[in-house]
């Protein structure tokens, strides 16, 4: 398996989001566990996107980054982890895209367990069925034990990285609007494998 390099991420965010579908997320956990999953759902966020944390952070006159919060890290090096807390409870994993100085990231929304499912289950509520291990952005970070400690780390090298499977299998990638947002709703920037059992049960904002 080839580890995806910084070149992969230093490209338009939409392209990265689409091409991450079918690749593997691998975590060589500090405890020695090896945890891996196939990515089946992503979302793209760009600096000119009102739903993105990086929106409106550039000074309109100078173009300089005018922010000292965590969102500034969206403008960092491609391939860096951007992890943040949502609803006070769940960590969401993103990978920074585009050249340094351009704000963008891809949210990893769902994966299919490939290795270490028993370790994932240890961190998830006992009542969760197998599908519920990793079929949502907050669930997969819990299963992988990803939290604030991962924020800012380099995802193009172990322990946490993306890998392209050696087989050349390609997936039909479907699109929809993004889940759970109230701004930028019309942009069809969610990418997923249609009918895959591990795609999150969330409903796109343009469907019911």
Write out the residues near DNA by the rule CB under 7 A: 43, 45, 51-53, 67, 69-71, 74, 82, 85-90, 92, 94, 105, 107, 124-125, 127-128, 132, 136-140, 178-183, 200, 202
- Contact between 104 and 112 (Cβ < 8 Å): no
Residue 123 and residue 90: Cα distance in Å, rounded?
A: 13
In angstroms, give the least distance from the CB of 188 to DNA: 15
In angstroms, give the least distance from the CB of 166 to DNA: 29
Residue 50 and residue 32: Cα distance in Å, rounded?
A: 40
Q: Cα dist. 113→33, 60, 78, 80 in Å? A: 14, 44, 25, 23
Q: Which is nearer to DNA, 89 or 167 (CB)?
A: 89
Q: Supply the DSSP symbol for 72.
A: G
Residue 154 and residue 207: Cα distance in Å, rounded?
A: 36
In angstroms, give the least distance from the CB of 38 to DNA: 17
Q: Which is nearer to DNA, 101 or 158 (CB)?
A: 101
Q: Which is nearer to DNA, 152 or 180 (CB)?
A: 180
Question: What tokens does 208 get?
Answer: 């019911």
In angstroms, give the least distance from the CB of 83 to DNA: 10
Residue 121 has φ and ψ, to the nearest 5°, of -65, -30
Q: Which is nearer to DNA, 38 or 53 (CB)?
A: 53
Q: Which is nearer to DNA, 50 or 165 (CB)?
A: 50
In angstroms, give the least distance from the CB of 158 to DNA: 23
């Amino acid at each position: 398996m080839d580890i995806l390099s910084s070149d992969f991420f230093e490209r338009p965010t939409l392209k990265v989001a689409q091409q991450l579908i079918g690749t593997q997320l691998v975590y060589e956990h500090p405890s020695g566990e090896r945890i891996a999953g196939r990515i089946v759902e992503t979302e793209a966020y760009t600096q000119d996107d009102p739903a993105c944390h990086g929106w409106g952070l550039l000074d309109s006159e100078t173009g300089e980054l005018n922010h000292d919060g965590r969102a500034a890290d969206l403008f960092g090096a491609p391939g860096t982890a951007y992890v943040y807390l949502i609803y006070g409870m769940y960590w969401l994993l993103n990978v920074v895209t585009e050249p340094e100085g351009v704000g963008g990231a891809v949210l990893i929304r769902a994966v299919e367990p490939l290795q270490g499912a028993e370790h994932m289950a240890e961190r998830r509520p006992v009542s969760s069925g197998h599908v519920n291990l990793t079929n949502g952005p907050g669930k997969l970070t819990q299963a992988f034990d990803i939290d604030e400690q991962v924020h800012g780390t380099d995802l193009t090298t172990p322990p946490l990285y993306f890998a392209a499977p050696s087989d050349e299998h390609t997936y039909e990638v479907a699109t929809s609007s993004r889940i759970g947002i109230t701004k930028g709703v019309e942009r069809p920037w969610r990418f997923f494998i249609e009918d895959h059992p591990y795609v999150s049960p969330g409903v796109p904002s343009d469907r019911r």
